[in-house]
A = this chain, B = another copy of it.
Amino acid sequence: MAKSLPVSPLASPLPTLGVVPGVRLGAVEAGIRYKGRTDLVVAEFDAGTTVAGVFTRSKCPGAPVDWCRTALKGGVARALVVNAGNANVFTGKAGIETCRVTAEAEAELAGCPSSEVFLASTGVIGEVLPTGKITAALPGLHASLTENGWEAAARGIMTTDTFPKAAVKKTEIGGVPVVIQGIAKGSGMIAPDMATMLSFVATDAALPASVLQALLSEGTGSSFNAVTVDSDTSTSDMVLLFATGKAENPAINGVDDPALASFRTALNELLLDLALMVVRDGEGATKQIRIRVTGATSDKSARVIARAIADSPLVKTAVAGEDANWGRVVMAVGKCGEPADRDRLAVSIGGVTIACEGTVVDGYDETPVVAHMKGQEIDIDVDLGLGEGKATMWTCDLTHGYIDINGSYRS
């Protein structure tokens, strides 16, 4: 992990980040695992901040995930502590103790109960996290927090990421301007159903925790839970959404309040932006792939099919080789066990229909498809011709870079 990776050819530039009133953050070099870079991030929130969270569905989650699930019940957040380089997973009682000690140390600095401190860790599994390095670094970091610390935070949570990931949206609630700003990390061990990575989003909107949770759960379904890099669901990952209330927008009357329309759209766009940055930094990725499935017997079935295509090593290596090997798409549709009728199936790549009704189209000219395959954003569309179910999923190609990164991660 000492060697730095070349930046993804799909890297997105860091947008110009603003502040989210009520949020101060920063990063420091705590020396947990990496040398010569920041690896500990803290965010502190003004009193009155509500919080929502979505977590990995792994049956073997890390201790910080357990901690956050408990803390989330209060619906209130005053601080967030994140470290990179060690995931604090499968660390037994020591891992639980690390969470308690870290949260208490931060709680004292932030002046809040430890149950209002949220924790996240990312990195190697199965090594005890050196709590002392964190508690030693926290006071200095606390003293340095600033409203302008977003870029530092985005950089401090990176592991195999090759570029920092952040997004910002300006919107309104009831005519009052509000901002939503977030950061994310992740490039491997990425798969739907809250695998994916860490992402922390904050807004100055005033929203009850229950509304915030409903919006976040809805938004992650078509963003973080619709991307996959390698089908491997992490033990650690989470998206947290904090709302400081500083915008002083009018009170919201439940999640279906029409006044939330713009905010909901902006939040969903921001979550998708962040999720796609994770795909675009997929380990070894050289191409982003969008898979749209239509005509399935249900949305759920379409989602299973889209994921089977997105996770197929043969589809992903074909894209890496710029090979419009649509036969592998047919294979992936067939393998996942969902209702499909070979003789009604249609496959398009780059908007060009290649096959329909069980065979290649008459006079199929590969030229425009070959040209599309040379681009960085590949579109694969499958229509099953059976019903109205549809789903979209995003992934990246599978290249030598993935093998390079993951064949020697710990060394």
Residues of A within 8 A of B (CB): 56-61, 87, 89-95, 124-127, 188-189, 191, 195, 230-235, 311-314, 317-318, 320-321, 323, 325-328, 330-343, 345, 355, 357-360, 398-400, 402-403, 406-411
A342 vs B60: C-alpha distance when bound (angstroms): 5
Q: Does the CB pair B126–A355 fall under 8 Å? A: yes
A209: shortest Cβ distance to chain B, in Å? 27
Secondary structure at the A interface, as helix, strand, loop or mixed, is: loop
In chain B, what residue has the closest Cβ to A332? B232
A189 vs B314: C-alpha distance when bound (angstroms): 7
A342: shortest Cβ distance to chain B, in Å? 4
Q: Does the CB pair B318–A60 fall under 8 Å? A: no
In chain B, what residue has the closest Cβ to A305? B59
A226: shortest Cβ distance to chain B, in Å? 17
Q: Does the CB pair A59–B342 fall under 8 Å? A: yes
Q: Which residues of B contact A345 (CB under 8 A)?
A: 60, 90
12 contacts across the A-B interface (CB closer than 8 A) = A58-B334, A59-B342, A92-B343, A92-B358, A95-B359, A126-B360, A191-B335, A234-B331, A313-B398, A318-B409, A325-B410, A402-B403
**Which of the residues B60, B318, B337, B399 comes within 8 Å of A331, measured between beta carbons?**
B60
A306: shortest Cβ distance to chain B, in Å? 15
Q: Does the CB pair B403–A89 fall under 8 Å? A: no
Instruction: Tell me whether A411 and B330 are in contact in the complex, defined as CB-CB below 8 angstroms, given that A90-B358, A359-B90 are known contacts.
Output: no
**How often does this chain occur in the complex, in copies?**
2
A197: shortest Cβ distance to chain B, in Å? 14
Q: Does the CB pair B60–A402 fall under 8 Å? A: no
Q: Does the CB pair A331–B59 fall under 8 Å? A: no
A227: shortest Cβ distance to chain B, in Å? 15
Which of A189, A342, A355, A398: most chain B CB closer than 10 A? A342
In chain B, what residue has the closest Cβ to A319? B407
A407 vs B95: C-alpha distance when bound (angstroms): 42
Q: Does the CB pair B60–A90 fall under 8 Å? A: no
Q: Which residues of B contact A312 (CB under 8 A)?
A: 231-232
A340 vs B410: C-alpha distance when bound (angstroms): 26
3 closest A-B pairs by CB: A125-B327, A92-B359, A321-B407
Instruction: Tell me whether A90 and B126 are in contact in the complex, defined as CB-CB below 8 angstroms, given that A234-B331, A406-B314 are known contacts.
Output: no
Instruction: Tell me whether A331 and B233 are in contact in the complex, defined as CB-CB below 8 angstroms, given that A359-B91, A403-B400, A406-B313 are known contacts.
Output: yes
A267: shortest Cβ distance to chain B, in Å? 27
In chain B, what residue has the closest Cβ to A322? B407
Q: Does the CB pair A59–B327 fall under 8 Å? A: no
Q: Which residues of B contact A90 (CB under 8 A)?
A: 327, 330, 342, 345, 355, 358-360
Instruction: Tell me whether A331 and B403 are in contact in the complex, defined as CB-CB below 8 angstroms, given that A340-B60, A360-B90 are known contacts.
Output: no
Q: Does the CB pair B234–A327 fall under 8 Å? A: no
| 7 additional A-B residue pairs with CB within 8 Å, beyond A313-B398, A321-B406, A400-B403 | A59-B334, A59-B342, A61-B334, A90-B342, A92-B358, A231-B231, A321-B407
Q: Does the CB pair B407–A403 fall under 8 Å? A: no
A321 vs B384: C-alpha distance when bound (angstroms): 40
Q: Which residues of B contact A127 (CB under 8 A)?
A: 360
Instruction: Tell me whether A407 and B327 are in contact in the complex, defined as CB-CB below 8 angstroms, given that A90-B359, A314-B230, A314-B232 are known contacts.
Output: no
